[in-house]
């Protein structure tokens, strides 16, 4: 288990001389951050044995600094780090029981594959017979047989990554710390190595702390994800839960594509600011606990239902048909005429908008649609064959199922 308690870290000029001398200045652990860049702010974290755990966040959020503090490459201003139940806050890196896989792998260029893998074992002065046995097992486990005499520059990117993993695991660490190890690779190789990492984790059962800014990577690999913003963990949970039901607007906006309609609260509805038209019902089916206080409505593009409308004589007629169709789908009625913005209220076009197709983006497995509506541009997704039948400027009806709406 890895436990982090109350970790704070500031870089740059700071009023360190006040630390411990003035209780009022020390209050809230702010004494060392008043004139510096506070990159970590009282972070708490617990990672279970055998867990694949991701720190996810944008550049500059503090995720790599937190990993370096756990590894012993940085010293925290406040707080404690425990690995395997042992306090290692002041311990040097090689006595923490952790192995670190760097972004560029950091293989010794003058050492062969075999020498790179056994480097840590040599430093630990393990018996030669033990070293040979671990090397043979590592070459087989990481599919590096026959490559032990090669140098790093003679290997592919995937082979270099496997060497870095083999070197990290050879010393039998309690945990493996990975700092964006796939970020320098092309898209196809990243996906291949992502699957290899999952297989490695399943077979070895090691505790892995993985730092990344790649949302898809974090969702695919993790048992749990901690989303970091501005030096703090803003949300922590399982990938499926964070994606489907993020508790904070920050997480909703960062993790995957999200439609957001900022609005005014009116009884029972969310209304686009400055407009008289209600956009969607505020009811208990979305995130009911927060629905009454909603100031923004969010929905994933794949949850938006798109209803194409046959062309008529004019744009206004098209939009009217779109609103009517969406209203009928939402309320369980047949299609009908509506105004150019739709009518929203009891028994009318609740959670539906009329729109015009602005663009279609072919993505291979699906198509992204940009639809201009009275509430702004809405991103939707549909199958490529259905999308191919649509044309720019076509009127569409959009429906927002209540069970998929998020309120903040």
Q: What is the pLDDT of residues 159-202, one digit of tens each?
A: 888 898 889 888 888 899 999 888 777 777 778 778 878 887 88
Query: Could you tell me how far CA 187 lies from the centroid of its own chain?
Result: 17
Residue 71 is encoded by which pair of tokens? Answer: 């590894």
- Residue 169 contacts residue 127 (beta carbons within 8 Å): no
Comparing 269 with 149, which gets the higher pLDDT?
149
- Classified as helix, coil or strand, 370 is strand
Mean pLDDT score of the chain, rounded to an integer?
80
How far is the C-alpha of 222 from the C-alpha of 327, rounded, in Å? 40
Are 328 and 336 in contact, with CB atoms under 8 Å apart?
A: yes
Q: Is the dihedral of CA 137, 138, 139, 142 positive or negative?
A: positive
- pLDDT reported for residue 327: 45
Q: What percent of the chain has pLDDT over 70?
A: 76
Within 10 angstroms of residue 232's Cβ, the number of other Cβ atoms is 16
Residue 229 has which token pair?
């913003």
DSSP symbol at 154: G
- Indicate the range of 71-85, 150-164, 340-354 predicted with least confidence: 340-354
In the prediction, which pLDDT does 52 show? 96
Query: Poorest-confidence range of 78-82, 124-128, 399-403?
Result: 399-403
What average pLDDT does range 212-218 have in this prediction? 92
Least confident of 124-133, 265-274, 327-336, 393-402: 327-336
The enclosing H or E element of 41 equals strand 37-47
Q: For 288-337, give the DSSP string.
A: HHHHTT-SEEEE-GGG-EEEE----SSHHHHHHHHHHHHHHHHHT-----
Q: Look at residue 34 in the predicted model and tell me its pLDDT.
A: 55
- Long-range pairs for 243-246: beta carbons < 8 A, 24 or more residues apart: 243/219, 245/287, 245/406, 246/406
pLDDT at 318 over 50: no
Task: Report helix, strand or coil for 360.
Answer: strand
Indicate the DSSP class of residue 367: E
pLDDT given at position 269: 63
The residue whose two tokens read 């839960």 is 241
Work out the number of other CB atoms within 10 angstroms of the CB of residue 122. 11
Instruction: For residues 108 and 118, give the distance between their C-alpha atoms in angstroms, rounded to a whole number.
Output: 12
The better pLDDT of the pair 166, 318 is held by 166
| Whether the predicted pLDDT of 110 surpasses 90 | yes
Encode pLDDT of 354-379 as tens digits.
Answer: 899 999 999 999 999 999 988 889 99
Distances (CA, A) of 323 to 222, 330, 336, 387: 41, 10, 8, 19
Measured CA distances, 151 to 102, 106, 142, 166 (Å): 18, 13, 16, 15
Q: Which of 399, 377, 374 is nearest to 308 (CA)?
A: 399
Q: Identify the band that residue 279 occupies on the pLDDT scale cut at 50, 70 and 90.
A: low
Q: What is the pLDDT of residue 294?
A: 52
Q: In terms of pLDDT, which residue wins out, 278 or 297?
A: 297
β-strands 2-11, 37-47 pairing: antiparallel
pTM of the predicted structure, to 2 decimals: 0.76
- Interior angle at CA 83, CA 79 and CA 88, nearest 5: 55
* E strands present in 88-247: 98-101, 175-179, 207-212, 224-229, 232-237
Is the pLDDT at 292 greater than 90? The verdict is no
Percent of the chain having pLDDT more than 90?
A: 49
Give 106's pLDDT tier (boundaries 50, 70, 90).
Answer: confident
- Quick check: 163 and 155 in contact, CB under 8 A? yes
Q: How far apart are CA 19 and CA 32, in angstroms?
A: 7
Q: How far apart (Å, rounded) are the C-alpha atoms in residues 256 and 235?
A: 15
Q: Which two tokens stand for residue 210?
A: 């993985």
Rounded distance between C-alpha atoms, residue 57 and residue 98, angstroms = 22
């Amino acid at each position: 288990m890895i436990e982090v308690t109350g970790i704070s870290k500031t870089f740059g000029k700071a009023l360190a001389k006040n630390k411990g001398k003035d209780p009022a200045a020390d209050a809230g652990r702010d004494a060392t951050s008043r004139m510096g860049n506070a990159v970590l702010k009282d972070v708490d974290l617990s990672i279970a044995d055998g867990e694949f755990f991701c720190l996810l966040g944008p550049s500059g959020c503090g995720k790599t600094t937190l990993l370096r503090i756990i590894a012993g490459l940085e010293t925290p201003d406040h707080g404690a780090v425990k690995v395997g139940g042992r306090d290692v806050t002041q311990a040097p890196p090689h006595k923490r029981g952790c192995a670190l896989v760097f972004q560029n792998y950091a293989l010794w260029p003058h050492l062969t594959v075999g020498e790179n893998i056994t480097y840590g074992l040599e430093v630990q002065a393990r018996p030669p017979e033990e070293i040979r046995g671990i090397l043979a097992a590592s070459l087989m486990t990481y599919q590096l047989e026959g490559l032990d005499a090669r140098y790093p520059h003679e290997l592919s990117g995937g082979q270099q990554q496997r060497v870095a993993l083999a070197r990290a695991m050879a010393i039998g660490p309690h945990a493996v710390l990975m700092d964006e190890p796939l970020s320098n690779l092309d898209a196809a190789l990243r996906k291949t190595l992502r699957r290899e990492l999952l297989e490695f984790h399943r077979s070895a059962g090691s505790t892995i702390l993985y730092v990344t800014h790649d949302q898809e990577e974090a969702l695919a690999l993790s048992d749990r994800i901690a989303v970091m913003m501005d030096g703090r963990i803003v949300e922590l949970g399982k990938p499926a839960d964070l994606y489907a039901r993020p508790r904070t607007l920050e997480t909703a906006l960062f993790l995957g594509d999200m439609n957001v309609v900022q609005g005014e609260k009116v009884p029972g509805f969310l209304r686009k600011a400055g407009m008289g038209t209600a956009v969607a019902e505020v009811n208990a089916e979305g995130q009911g606990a927060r629905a009454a206080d909603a100031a923004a409505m969010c929905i994933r593009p794949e949850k938006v239902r798109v209803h194409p409308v046959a062309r008529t004589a004019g744009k206004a007629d098209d939009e009217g048909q779109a609103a009517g169709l969406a209203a009928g789908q939402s309320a369980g009625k047949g299609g009908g005429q509506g105004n150019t913005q739709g009518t929203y209220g009891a028994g009318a076009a609740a959670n539906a908008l009329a729109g015009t197709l602005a663009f279609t983006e072919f993505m291979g497995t699906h198509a992204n649609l940009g639809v201009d509506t009275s509430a702004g541009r809405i991103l939707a997704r549909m199958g490529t064959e259905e999308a191919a039948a649509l044309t720019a400027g076509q009127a569409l009806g959009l429906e927002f199922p209540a069970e998929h709406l998020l309120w903040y």
